[in-house]
A = this chain, B = another copy of it.
Amino acid sequence: MATATQAPRHPAGLAQKLADSGLRSTPQRELVYDVLLTKRDHPTADEVFARVKPELPGISLATVYNCLETLVQCDLVRAVNFERGPTRYCPNLRPHAHFHDEVTGQTHDVDLPETLFAKLKSELPPGFDANAVEITFRGKAQSSAN
Instruction: Give the interface of A toward B (CB within 8 A).
Output: 79, 81-84, 87, 97, 99, 108, 110, 112-113, 116, 119-121, 123-125, 127-142, 144
Determine which residue in A99, A112, A134 has the highest number of CB atoms from chain B within 10 A of its CB, and name it.
A134
Q: Which residues of B contact A82 (CB under 8 A)?
A: 81
Q: CA separation between A83 and B78, bound complex, in Å?
A: 12
Chain B residue nearest to A133 (CB atoms) is B137
Q: Which residues of B contact A142 (CB under 8 A)?
A: 127-128
Q: CA separation between A72 and B120, bound complex, in Å?
A: 27
Other-chain contact of A138, B134, B135, B137 (Cβ < 8 Å): B134
Q: Which residues of B contact A97 (CB under 8 A)?
A: 120
Cross-chain contact B84 with A83 (CB below 8 angstroms): no
Q: Which residues of B contact A116 (CB under 8 A)?
A: 119-120, 123
Chain B residue nearest to A97 (CB atoms) is B120
Q: Which residues of B contact A121 (CB under 8 A)?
A: 137
Question: 17 additional contacts, CB 8 Å, given A79-B83, A121-B137, A134-B135?
Answer: A99-B124, A110-B123, A110-B128, A112-B123, A113-B123, A116-B123, A128-B137, A128-B141, A128-B142, A129-B140, A131-B138, A131-B139, A132-B138, A132-B139, A133-B136, A134-B134, A136-B136
